[in-house]
Structure 1
Amino acid sequence: MTTQTATLVPSYVQGAWWTPESSEGATPVRDANTGELLAHVSTAGLDLAGVVDYGRTVGQAGLGRLTLHQRALKLRDLAQYLNAHREELYELSYKTGATRIDSMIDVDGGIGVLFTFSSKGRRELPNSDVIVDGAAEPLSKDGSFIGEHIYTRIPGVAAQINAFNFPVWGMLEKFAPAFVAGVPTIVKPATPTGFLTEAVVRLIVDSGLLPEGSLQLISGSARNLLDVMDYRDLLSFTGSASTANRLKTHPNVIEGGVRLTVETDSLNAAILGPDAVPGTPEFEAFVKAVVTEMTVKAGQKCTAIRRTIVPQELVDDVVAAIGERITQRVVVGDPRAEGVTMGALASLEQLRDVRGAVDAMLAAGGELAYGTLDAPQVRTAHGQQAVVPDGAFMTPVVLTWSDVEAEAVHSREAFGPVTSVLGYTDLSEAIRLAAKGAGSLVATVCTNDGDTARALTVGIAGHHGRVHVLNRETARTSTGHGSPVPHLVHGGPGRAGGGEELGGIRAVKHHMQRTAVQGSPNLLTAITGVWHTGAARNTAGAPEFGGQPGVVHPFRKSLAELRIGDAFASPLRRVTREDIEDFAAKTGDTFYAHTDAAAAEANPFFPGVVAHGYLLVSWAAGLFVEPAPGPVLANYGLENLRFITPVPAGDSIRITLTAKKITPRVTDVYGEVCWDAVIQNQDGDIVATYDVLTLVEKENTTYANWPAGA
């Protein structure tokens, strides 16, 4: 896969590939390592309003025909498809200055996000288009009027404007949760590396896996995108704080209600604990982490360590150790040349910006402790030209500061292979220095002392979106300071933008509207697909407790036959003192409330000796179970178990079991059924409540001809 020299990088909009009629005024895109002209980028004449409208109409319709599970499954299929094309993407990624490892982080990391959201979406969400948020709230004394919250997808588009440093991961980490939520995505990548994003989108389109309109690509400027968005839409921005501030002041954000989330400049810190002296595993792990963050993607990471905060007496040791590791392990050059471990910055413009930032920091009091701002020497490696004058190459740089309070080190970000080492005298100063970043995406705390870890973490948590705690136990298994994971939120307060991305199902809900709904139990059951207490039942079992003639036990029904509200009401079973004593003896649970009448009567919670809660739950299973083989394949657990009313000897219990939620699995011949279970005594008082979880066949095939009672 290659991008033709000097051609226009196309956009994919309104169901087709599109390029401007002319390349006049287009922006050139060059190989970061060689300066070779790769292509031009332009959106002159692109109908942005039409792009947004296409997402709102065609994209929304296509995604709306799928459930949450079906959309999540398509992400799995897409991830597998892209996995088969990784080598093509790696080859193209080299032109952005990325090494093989950098490309794996970007490409494999993005694909991994698809896998994660596919798995979590199918495991944690209903196979529906509505997500219930929390328990129902009674709003009337008789239970006829209740309320709760639901999530449904926003009715517009999710547009994303991304930075140049992760052209694949940056797109897919925003696309995945939006797609599961059912919201069409419009991608606007950064110009220097957008050709790699275009290649991924082309693969996605060629796969034919996604509904039409669910993904569109704008290759080039989209300055007027916000002009055609409104309250139905969401814009997610990753880039500079100055651009983010302009977006925040747009009338369609301030007055029009466009949802805006931003991730911007972040002067992330790494703090070395006083116990992590040279020779300890923590010191070694810390230095490794700092150098990794300086050199992966040539330091062009929003999560890179910009401020290395260490005990004052260890400043020289840390600088020396960082320098030694860089000298031994880092070779700057074209990543296609053998032996190179750090590639070029994304462009000559980016190189100029980083050098300018370092010059400004030196003028503000920083001192060059390691490295140089001079261009790396032109050289070859194993007959290959590794560094050429037109490449955007820069060697790693370490700064130190005699004045650790200097404003520049806590406000100026050199977005490249640069870090500053700052000394602190005590933990309170370390916390204060970290906080001077005015809000960051991530900080590392490196210590093997629990008290130090707690003091530093609690002290800085309010200023950071993520805290990575590093010690000898996690040195080999940690995903690293600079690696956001799809399971946890990625974002940070203050300077970092105040937004949140990723975070597992939180990210899916970020693309949905939470709405309070109020009504009767029957109507809320119809709206949510989840049975509510007080809603109608179709009850089998004991007539004296609501069982209706001719109704089949719900455990005899496959998912094809089972309906929300199908229920079973059991007869009563009497509890004797002998039952309680026998359970205590056989289980070893001889807690005094079950064995000592005097002690039990002295307890304010019990009327005397009472039955074990787990005895009652066990008996309840015996009361509701249908013993013959059938579509119920397994019981895989209980949830939300609460014991409410004690049951003394002489009382009786019964149970009502109601199909509360049915979740067919898209890829399996069975699904999950959550049953509402309520144990009551002979007076109708509630003894216990819980949910029973079972796996049930979609079709009653395995035991279809099994004789009842066999």
Structure 2
Amino acid sequence: MTSTAVRVQTVPSFIEDAWWTPDATSLTERNSAEVRDASTGETLAVVSTEGLDVARVVDYARTTGQQALGEFTFHQRALKLKALAQFLNDQRTSLYELSARTGATKIDSMVDIDGGIGVLFTFGSKGRRELPNSNVVVDGPPETLSKDGSFLGEHIYTRIPGAAVQINAFNFPVWGMLEKLAPAFLAGVPTIVKPATPTGYLTAAVVKFIIESNILPQGALQLISGSARDLLDYLDYRDLVSFTGSASTANKLKSHDNVVHGGVRFTSETDSLNAAILGEDAVPGTPEFDAFVKSLVTEITVKAGQKCTSIRRTIVPKALVNDVVAAARERIEQRIVLGDPRAEGVTMGALASLDQLRDVRSAVETMIAAGGELAYGSLDAPRVTRADGTVDTVADGAFMSPVLLTWENAEAIELHTIEAFGPVASVIGYDDAAHAVRLAALGAGSLVATVCTNDPEVARELVLGIAAHHGRVLMLNREDARSSTGHGSPVPHLVHGGPGRAGGGEELGGIRSVLHHMQRTAIQGSPNMLTAVTGVWHTGADQRFDDAHPFRKNLATLQIGDAVRSDLRQVTLEDITAFASTTGDTFYAHTNEEASAANPFFPGIVAHGYLLLSWGAGLFVDPAPGPVLANYGLENLRFITPVAAGDSIRVTLTAKRITPREDEEYGEVAWDAVLHNQNDEIVATYDVLTLVEK
């Protein structure tokens, strides 16, 4: 590139719901960067944000994006994520073609592209199953703060009022964006995504498809392609930054005045020297040894080892170091074909860029100088399969062969502090389980570790020893070797993150990651006020007892607080005996007067709890066909006061929570059920769950 105007395609940004590129005549070497094909070195495009008004981007998210997303409930947003996943599923062919330019093989692209789409599907499902059809999440039961129940306290989650700024790494240009977009969108928070320059053109292609789908509302997603060094200057306590990348960059961002003093929420996922520990029982010839070697080779070759979750430190019994290296060498030589991903038969592609190749080689050289020995591989330019099928070295390709290092000193500082972010791993020996735990902990906090053993006691000692140093631990043995998603594969259901060097944050984790984009607030007030704010009926709030049984009301007419109260029904000894006989539940408290009276909890023979529940249903149910379609369960059941023969019970049923399903002709209703005895003492409390027509 020269200092004159650049005449190649520029990767666009998407801001204020329009595509934007800088004035081509303003681009120079200093304010723009070229991106190249990782395998051939061919210039693909230029990236620049010269002239982009970042302040307007942030303001648009906080205003237009917040307003548009706030018009939808969790369930409505979840359905949009599902629709978006279905739409992107149909675009995978063109995305795979573009992904190959980043050095990604078909398997690599599947992990990135299909994995990202899978995250959208997961959150689309979990949002409808685990969140209310509203914009408020109630966190835990209410706390009674007064003797008469007129003053309560409770915790709620509501969305943060700003933008979710997502600064992503180069290694997963699709998954890295979608795994952050999904929980932010579900929470109702607009996203500003800033991808890494070397592979950001693939991110831009995905955003283009997202915009073409016309599924997301205005302002929900903006894309900054290129440098955004002043982005944090425009953020404050309303906003959240989610960063993935190097620890040095994370530390620089975390030291920004708006983070330190301005209250910007900051979470990061950074360098991680992940470990895999082989149990002493997992000797050559066992399924565990084979699974361990397979995992090691997979982790250093998929995405050419450019994964924050790749295995960097392979911790094995000292006597097995050579066996593990030999088995890994054999598997690499049998299965790994290095080359251009567009060539038939290639199983490992290039690093993302020549800069990345230089960084990885430099890291390995430093490790060798510190005592590491090259047990397999080379730092020389490898022979690779070109796109046309010929085999040769490629001067402008970012190719590197897999590398295994061994160390005489298993506690060398460089081994546990330098991450060669490529197809590189070290194999080191431990003396006993306690030594293995200590070696794993020297990573100073990691995203993930594997413990490979078929001995439950070994697994327990190792896992409990290293768990606090890691965000995730995979226990690998013969039982799950085939079904396991693998050491290096975060899943949207579980948290992705780790302590210490790994950044200290958490991404994904199902609904936990949605709550990261929300503020937890303690609210206090009367039962009526808490009911009004949360949309959930609270004990002590108003109830409506009218002539229409609530089971006669569909979701269009049923309201929170609609209730029915039954008459008393007496429980006789004959009832208790008959229930014991027909169910087979002849526990002594229901059949033996002397033994029951000796129990400090019972006054003598008492009614079965499940007899009372059955009678409770008989007392509140409206038997004729109507809007109530089915009873699908109970929640929060507690038996409080025993009911003896001669006592009576009545039930009060109140509509507690109403959750219409967006894509069905029915919804769920949770009913607060309370059984009282003839003395108005509470016998039992529980929630009845029903499906009700709209």
Q: Same fold (TM over 0.5)?
A: yes
The correspondence for 2:20, drawn from 15, 18, 29, is 18
Give a deviation string over 1:338-392, Cα, whole Å, max 9, x none: 1110000000000000000000000000000001111012555774567522100
Q: Which residue of 1 aligns with 2:622?
A: 626
Partner of 2:612: 616
Q: How does 1:39-50 map to 2 (within 5 A)?
A: 39-50=45-56
Distance 2:515 2:124 in 1: 15
Which letter maps to 1:621?
A
CA contact (8 A) 2:73 2:133 kept: yes
- Do residues 642 (structure 1) and 638 (structure 2) align? yes
Equivalents in 2 of 1:589, 1:127: separation in Å? 40
- How many angstroms does 1:98 deviate by? 0.2
Q: CA deviation at 1:90?
A: 0.2
Q: Which amino acid aligns with 1:589?
A: D
Partner of 2:106: 100
Opposite residue 61 of structure 1, the aligned amino acid is Q
Q: Tell me how many residue pairs correspond in the alignment.
A: 685
Structure 2 equivalent of residue 600 of structure 1: 596
Q: Which amino acid aligns with 2:60?
A: Y
Provide the rounded CA distance (Å) in 2 between the counterparts of 1:595 and 1:373.
80
Q: AA paired with 1:102?
A: D
Which amino acid in 1 is paired with 2:432? D
- Counterpart of 2:319? 313
How far apart in 2 are the matches of 1:354 and 1:125? 44
- Taking a change above 3 Å as real, the CA distance of residues 387 and 77 of structure 1, as seen in their structure-2 partners, is farther
- Length-normalised TM-score, structure 2: 0.98
Give 2:3's aligned residue: none
Q: AA paired with 1:20? A: P
The whole-number CA distance in structure 2 between the counterparts of 1:289 and 1:386 is 29
> Is 1:334–1:385's contact at 8 Å kept on the other side of the alignment?
no
Aligned 8 A contact 2:338 2:384 in 1:
no
The answer to whether the Cα contact below 8 Å between 1:261 and 1:498 also exists between their aligned partners in 2 is: yes
What is the CA distance between 1:560 and its match in structure 2? 0.4
Cα distance in 2 for residues equivalent to 1:241 and 1:568: 60
User: Could you say which residue in structure 2 is the equivalent of 1:292?
Assistant: 298
Letter in 2 for 1:201: V
Aligned-partner Cα distance in 2 for 1:267–1:213: 38
SS in 2 for 1:462: helix
Match of 2:86 in 1: 80
Structure 2 SS opposite 1:309: strand
Letter in 2 for 1:44: E
Matching of residue 575 in structure 1 with residue 579 in structure 2: no
- Correspondences of 1:687-706 after superposition (within 5 Å): 687-698=683-694
> Aligned to 1:98, what secondary structure does the other structure show?
coil
Following TM superposition, the consecutive aligned residue runs of length 4 or more in structure 1 with deviations greater than 3 angstroms are 378-387
**Conserved 8 A contact 2:383-2:392:** no
Q: 1:211-250 counterparts in 2 under 5 A? A: 211-250=217-256
The answer on whether the counterparts of 2:576 and 2:607 sit within 8 Å (CA) in structure 1 is yes
Which of 368, 371, 383 lines up with 1:365 in the alignment? Answer: 371
* Residue number among 6, 9, 12 corresponding to 1:7 in the alignment: 9
Residue identity matched to 2:21: T
Q: Provide the residue aligned with 1:459 in structure 2.
A: 465
Q: CA deviation at 1:139?
A: 1.1
Matched position secondary structure for 2:96: helix
- 1:428 is aligned to 2:434: yes
Shift of 1:633: 0.2
SS in 2 for 1:615: helix
Matching residue of 1:584: 580
Q: Which residue, 73, 96, 99 being the options, matches 1:67?
A: 73
Looking at structure 1, the residues matched to 486 and 579 of structure 2 have their Cα atoms a distance apart, in angstroms, of 51
- Identity across aligned pairs (percent)? 74
User: What is the rounded CA distance, in whole Å, between the counterparts of 1:681 and 1:386 in structure 2?
Assistant: 87
Give 2:678's aligned residue: 682
Name which of structure 1's ranges 378-387 and 284-293 shifts more when overlaid on structure 2: 378-387
Whole-angstrom CA distance in 2 between matches of 1:539 and 1:173:
47
- Aligned residue for 1:318, secondary structure, equals helix
Q: Partner of 2:344 in structure 1? A: 338
Counterpart position of 2:41: 35
Q: Which amino acid aligns with 2:452?
A: C
Aligned to 1:662: 658
For 1:595, give the aligned amino acid: T
Rounded to whole Å, the distance in 1 between the matches of 2:493 and 2:637 is 27
Q: Provide the rounded CA distance (Å) in 2 between the counterparts of 1:407 and 1:51.
A: 43
- Establish whether residue 501 from structure 1 lines up as the match of residue 507 from structure 2: yes
Question: Is the Cα contact below 8 Å between 2:162 and 2:240 reproduced in 1?
Answer: yes
Q: Write out per-residue CA displacement over residues 519-550 of structure 1, whole angstroms, 9 at most, x where no aligned residue.
A: 1111110110000000000124xxxxxxxxxx
Runs of at least 5 residues in structure 2 that lack an aligned partner in the other structure: 1-5
Deviation at 1:45, TM superposition (A): 1.1
- Cα distance between partner residues in 2 of 1:118 and 1:238: 23
Aligned CA distance change for structure 1 residues 377 and 454 (closer, same or farther; 3 Å): same
- Equivalences for residues 254-333 of structure 1 within 5 A: 254-333=260-339
Corresponding letter in the other structure for 1:501: E
Three-state SS of the structure 1 residue aligned to 2:104 is coil
Seen in structure 2, the aligned counterparts of structure 1 residues 343 and 519 have a Cα distance that, compared at 3 Å, is same
1-structure distance, mates of 2:646, 2:394: 91
Matched-pair contact (CA < 8 Å) for 1:334–1:386: no
Q: Could you tell me the TM-score, scaled by structure 1's length?
A: 0.96
Q: Secondary structure at the match of 2:44?
A: strand
The verdict on how the C-alpha distance between 1:16 and 1:260 changes in structure 2, with shifts beyond 3 A counting, is: same
The CA distance in 2 between the partners of 1:518 and 1:16, in whole Å, is: 44
- After TM superposition, the structure 1 stretch with the greater mean CA deviation from structure 2, 386-395 or 269-278, is 386-395
In structure 2, distance between residues paired with 1:274 and 1:333: 37
1:138 matched to 2:144? The reply is yes
1:475 aligns with 2:481: yes
Tell me, in whole angstroms, the C-alpha distance in 2 between the residues paired with 1:555 and 1:98: 58
Residue ranges of structure 1 left out of the alignment (5+ in a row): 541-550, 699-710
* Partner Cα separation in structure 1 for residue 365 and residue 290 of structure 2: 30
Per the alignment, do residues 379 and 175 of structure 1 end up closer, same or farther by CA in structure 2, a change over 3 Å counting? closer
Which residue number in structure 1 is paired with residue 62 of structure 2? Answer: 56
Name the SS for the 1:390 alignment partner.
coil
TM-fit CA distance, 1:167? 0.2
Question: Partners of 1:28 and 1:659 in 2: how far apart?
Answer: 61
